[in-house]
Every structure is written in structure tokens, then in C-alpha cells.
Amino acid sequence: MLLSTIAEELHVSLPEREAEITDVAYDSRKVTPGALFCCLRGEKTDGHRFAQQAVDKGAAALIVEEKLPLDVPQLLVTDGREAMARSAACFFGHPERKMTMLAVTGTNGKTSTTYMVKAVAEEAGLKVGLIGTIHNLIGDEVVETERTTPESADLFRLLRLMYDRGVDLVVMEVSSHALSQNRVAGIRFKAALFTNLTQDHLDYHKTFEAYRAAKKKLFYQTELAIVNDDDPAAAYMTEISTPRA
């Protein structure tokens, strides 16, 4: 895929020179020749520091939040994580648009809910892909996972695999970390389900309000919101939840 195609997807300036992109990567140790390397800023490290290593391993271009003194095309963006998600979706041919996407979020019950939905859908004759805490599944085939919701480059690679294997419906757990880090940016879900909200992950989110706000982001990306009305946060999750991509 041409880098200019990804630039157009991101609505950023076209690169000064063209490049052929063969992969999307965020770990410099796993870069392959022709990859688009995304420089992500995290809590403990900054991916911009590893851009030279990525280029040395053959990265054809970079996604950056600040221009670097390196002789490769660079796409300058304001949010590297969102840009990686949208770049990966584009590179892998937007598999999320070709399958029905269902999301489940909440503190407790996400895994159980996804398995129940999978069982019902399979009984109805659908081929189901499941993405979650224990492992990922394509039908009965296990695909191991490191995170409840994979990093976006890994997520869209998995979604492409699911599409290629004939999956009709994807049901996935979407964690608060994934939402705050824009791992599912650009995905338009057919439905999103909220289980409950209790004190959790405050080591990352710092406050309960920030944790709750991260969960709410999902409901701006769905056509249909299904909420547990017994939970005190139910009204908050659906208030002014105008769908957006």
C-alpha cells in the first residue's frame, strides 16, 4: 500500500516522497522492511526514541507527533495512537466494515457475556470471532492474546484474519485501557453492551471519574447501546451518546 493512501485516510499532509508500506508496527524490535513505524508515547517510554532503530531495521516511513531528523517520509499527527489505529484499519483493508462488530465493556462480566453471545450466534448459524481476556477465537480455533483488547495494529491484523477465515460476527471485550489509548478508534460497532462499573484500574486512570469517562467513549462509536440499567453508571453511559466513528 502507498503511504499517500494512509495519509489521505488520516487527513494529514501527503508525504514529501512516496513509500510502499508492507506492514504497520509499533515495536521497533519487530519491524520488518517496508513497515510503517508508529512512534507512540507511553507512560514510561517514548516511541520516538526508537525511530532510528526502526529505520535501521528497514522501516519505510514513520508516524510521528514531532518531526524527527531522519531521512524517511514522516506523517505528522496529533495523536499517534489514534493514527496507528486508523492506519492499520486502512492497511488491512477495513475488515471491521465487512463483519458485524459487537463490543462489551464494564468492570465485571465482560468475558462471560462475550461467550454467551458467541454461543447464541453460533446456534443461529453464524461463524463468530471472539476477542477477549482468556484468548481469541475464530470459531473453535484459539489465537493467543497478550491483552484483553490488543494494540490497534495487532487488532486489525486479527480482524483481517477473521474476515479471511469467513467470520460473520466479531464479539470483543473492550477495556478501559483500550478506550483511553484509542485502540478501537474508527471502528463503528453495531452494538455495545455495558455490564457494570466498580472501583478498578485506578492505578492507571487515577480517578473513578476518569475510569468512567474512558468506558463512555465506546458509546460514541455504536449504533445501539445495551446497558445494565441496575448499575448507577447506566444513565451516564447513554447520556448524549451521539454515534461517531
List per-residue pLDDT tens for the chain, 245 residues long.
Answer: 999 999 999 999 999 899 999 999 999 999 999 999 999 998 788 999 999 999 999 999 999 999 999 999 999 999 999 999 999 999 999 999 999 999 999 989 999 999 999 999 999 999 999 999 888 999 999 998 777 789 999 999 999 999 999 999 999 999 998 999 999 999 999 999 999 998 665 566 568 788 888 889 999 999 999 999 999 888 888 885 555 54
Cell numbers describing residue 168: 460473520
Give Dmax (Cα) for the chain.
56
Integer angstrom CA distances of residue 85 from 40, 79, 152, 203, 206: 11, 10, 5, 25, 25
Confirm whether 17 is domain-assigned: yes
Confirm whether 245 is domain-assigned: no
Specify whether 187 is located in the same domain as 202: yes
Instruction: Out of 29, 57, 91, pick the residue that ends a domain.
Output: 91
Specify whether 109 is located in the same domain as 229: yes
Specify whether 125 is located in the same domain as 104: yes
CA separation for the pair 208, 42 (Å, rounded): 21
The whole domain housing 191 covers 95-238
Q: With contact defined as beta carbons under 8 Å apart, do 208 and 236 qualify?
A: no
Determine the pLDDT at residue 241: 52
80-91 vs 3-10: helix crossing angle, rounded to 10: 130
Confirm whether 243 is domain-assigned: no
Cα radius of gyration rounded to whole Å, the chain = 18
Which residues are CB-neighbours of 16 under 8 A, at least 6 positions away?
A: 73
Confirm whether 137 is domain-assigned: yes
Residue 198 belongs to a domain with what CATH number? 3.40.1190.10
Q: With contact defined as beta carbons under 8 Å apart, do 179 and 215 qualify?
A: yes
User: 150 exposed, middle or buried (CB, 10 Å; 0-12, 13-18, 19+)?
Assistant: buried
Q: How many domains does the chain have?
A: 2
Cell numbers describing residue 93: 483493508
CA separation for the pair 218, 222 (Å, rounded): 7
Determine the pLDDT at residue 209: 84
Instruction: Out of 33, 64, 91, pick the residue that ends a domain.
Output: 91
Q: What does pTM read for this prediction?
A: 0.92
Instruction: Out of 60, 91, 122, pick the residue that ends a domain.
Output: 91
